[in-house]
Amino acid sequence: MRLRTLSLFALCLPTSIPLAAAQDIPNRPEDIQFAPLNFEPPEAAGYRHELSNGVLVYLAPSQELPLVNIVFTFKGGGYLDPQGQVGLVSATGSMIRRGGTMSVSAEDLDERFDFLAANVSSSSGSTTSLATINCLKSNLEECFALFMDMIRNPGFQADRFTVYVDELLERLRQRNDFPDAILNREWKALLYGRDHYEASQTTEPMVQAMSIADLRDVHRQIFHPGNLIIAVNGDFEESQMLALLEEAVSGWEKRPLVIDPPAPEVKFTPGLYHVEKDIPQGKVFIGLRTISRDHPDYFPMLMMNEILGGGGFTSRITKRVRSDEGLAYSAGSTFIPGVYFPGEFRALFQSKNPTVALSAKIILEEIELIRSEPVTGEELEIARNSFIETFPRTFESKAGMLNVFVNDEMTGRDAAYWKNYRDNIKRITAEQIMDVARRRLDPRQMAVFVVGKWDEIYQGDLDQRANMSEIFGGNVTHLPLRDPMTMEPIK
């Protein structure tokens, strides 16, 4: 039977390929020619609306699915934590969803959202706070009424807050279990200062001191129309959605816009730093403070980082440290420009303790090389194409597109940024990359930060190709591991 089936299938196949079609097929995959992609980024102005009380709204209707997705973005996050109350804003953001409303218990609110198949969340990050709802078009009005009650009149139910506190304390207990977490928090403390919101840490006394009254104070400060931008995508009519939103914010007190996040005041100090942790692989950052998002060096830095370590397997650091030497599974670099103040550049890797010094030496060699010699034409072309060809993905979904518009509006980004993005990438030259690397990536102004077993790390590899005495002369600042609950140094 199987043989007969195969025979019948063979009879269905064409006996020959038409001559014209055969001539159109290239001999090799790299010979395939693709038509150029003509893509123009959408302009925010085409999606922007303003309610009568001044709240900005971005709308992107579509009929792909019978769903509506609404995102409320409020300016204000962890940088607004009161002195000695780190984590309070984050707790408020979580408890708005978890704690019910003034008229609906937390349990009933959960049950009603579940029954309506609505996905609802709230949270507060370092600079913004969010409340989102995704629901069916058919029950939008009922879901949205509950959603607005949750945002405007949070219940902060006491037993739910107790559970949140217990969960948070458990997370604090685990902070030293993961070396990556240790490295990240100590690196940020070095960059921005331990008291700056980018580096500040919640402690057990702070958590235990939180009160529902404190949550209400934060809610009043952040969650109001003065800080709000709304984005909506999904199956709706624009006029009807604007009417719904207009009614929802009616009578909602609009208070002053919160301040911008503060710049760090602590001076960054280069050097070699270490925190002891008994692990088989050392975790390492090498970097420094850099520039802000709107600085003229932004695009040269973007391209430089892509070639040096940000471009994955095509980047120099990954090729040498991982592919050529086999010293690390993960090695590369990242460039994080600041929005409100200068951000950072850092190379990063993890390697077994005896080869940490060799990996660091190779990365510093690559940094010196990109500062002293122009990158190749091939490297420049690969980096340029990487940014240009992936550019449309920034706007590939309606939700993602609106998120870009909201963030740009909230942070005051130049409206022409996306329109000129590809041209700004195209015009970057090898000489500009070398120049910005020479000015911005001076190894003498960097910090090398290591978490791991120092006795094994310091002596270097078995072949003695490198040891830690070659980095800042081996002059290391040993920082203490901190108690996970108090963040005080462990003696």
pLDDT tens per residue, range 175-206:
999 999 999 999 999 999 999 999 999 999 99
| Residues 15, 17, 18, 22, Cα dihedral to 10° | -160
Place of tokens 């706007």: 395
CA dist., res. 234 & res. 60, Å (int): 7
Looking at the predicted structure, is the pLDDT value of residue 310 above 50?
yes
Which burial class, exposed, middle or buried, applies to 411 when counting CB atoms under 10 A from its CB (0-12, 13-18, 19+)?
Answer: middle
pLDDT digits (tens, 9 = 90+) for 456-474: 999 999 999 999 999 999 9
238 touches 201 (CB < 8 A): no
Residue 133's φ and ψ, nearest 5 degrees, are -140, 135
CB contact at 8 A, 93 and 74: no
Orientation angle between helical segments 158-173 and 88-98, nearest 10 degrees: 130
HSE (side-chain half, CA atoms, 13 Å) at 451: 22
The hierarchical CATH code for the domain 46-249 is 3.30.830.10
**Helix, coil or strand: residue 276:** strand
Write out pLDDT tens, residues 433-460.
999 999 999 999 999 999 999 999 999 9
User: What does the alpha-carbon distance between residue 214 and residue 37 come to, in Å, rounded to a whole number?
Assistant: 53
> How far is 91 from 71, CA to CA, in rounded Å?
19
Q: How far apart are CA 327 and CA 348, in angstroms?
A: 13
Beta strands, E only, 22-181: 48-50, 56-61, 67-75, 119-124, 128-136
What residues are paired with 450 via a beta bridge?
274, 284
Q: Starting at the edge strand that comes first in sequence, how are the strands of the sheet with 476-479 ordered?
A: 331-336, 344-352, 281-289, 447-452, 271-276, 476-479
Say what the alpha-carbon torsion angle 173, 176, 180, 184 is, to the nearest 10 degrees.
80
Distance CA 68, CA 233 (A): 6
Model pLDDT, residue 9: 43
When comparing pLDDT for 88 and 6, which is higher? 88
Q: Does 19 have pLDDT greater than 70?
A: no
What is the percent of the chain where pLDDT is above 70? 95
Smallest Cα–Cα separation from 451: which of 200, 192, 175? Answer: 175
Q: What is the arithmetic mean of pLDDT over 220-249?
A: 98
pLDDT at 10: 45
- Which helix (H) or strand (E) segment is 111 a member of? helix 106-115
- Measured between alpha carbons, how far is 235 from 255 in angstroms, rounded to an integer? 32
Residue 271 in tokens:
């050097």
At residue 13, does pLDDT exceed 60?
no
3-state DSSP assignment of residue 385: helix
The residue with tokens 């600079």 is 127
Q: How do residues 240-269 score in pLDDT, each as one tens digit?
A: 999 999 999 999 999 999 999 999 999 999
290 SS3 class: coil
Tokens of 257: 């816009």
**pLDDT at residue 18, rounded to an integer:** 55
Residues of the chain with CATH 3.30.830.10: 46-249, 271-479
Give residue 2's pLDDT band: very low, low, confident or very high (50, 70, 90): very low
Q: Looking at residue 491, what is its pLDDT?
A: 86
Q: What is the mean pLDDT of the chain?
A: 95
pTM of the model: 0.92
Which one is the CATH code of 271-479: 3.30.1460.30, 3.40.50.720, 3.30.830.10, 1.10.1740.10?
3.30.830.10
The pair of structure tokens assigned to 375 is: 């990158």
Transcribe 207-229 into DSSP letters.
HHH--HHHHHHHHHHHSSGGGEE
Calpha distance 166→170 (Å, rounded): 6
